[in-house]
Amino acid sequence: PERHARSLSGYVRRSSGQLEAATFDNVSEQGCCILKDLVIGESLIVTLPKIGTVSAQVRWAIGGRAGLRFDRDVVVPADARSD
């Protein structure tokens, strides 16, 4: 999938129900990188501007960054891309 390097500010709802602000990088139709300490396997609800809200699962986590896999493909609009 094509990834877009632009950083986006959004929100993540943790499995505990806590809503937290977050920064997202490398957003693609299938997932993204989040700049936050998370636990592999954790289920989240991600809200990104111009993309919307989507469920995701943490696939990897290291050094304050984590990779998220969306539960469905999303549309990344041109104005949310860096290219």
Name the helix (H) or strand (E) containing 14.
none
Which value, in Å, is the radius of gyration of the alpha carbons in the chain? 11
Is this structure's pTM higher than 0.85?
yes
Q: Measure CA of the first residue to CA of the last residue in the chain; give whole Å.
A: 15
Q: What is the pLDDT along the chain (83 residues), one digit of tens a residue?
A: 555 557 899 999 998 999 999 999 989 999 999 999 999 999 999 999 889 999 999 999 999 999 999 999 999 887 665 54
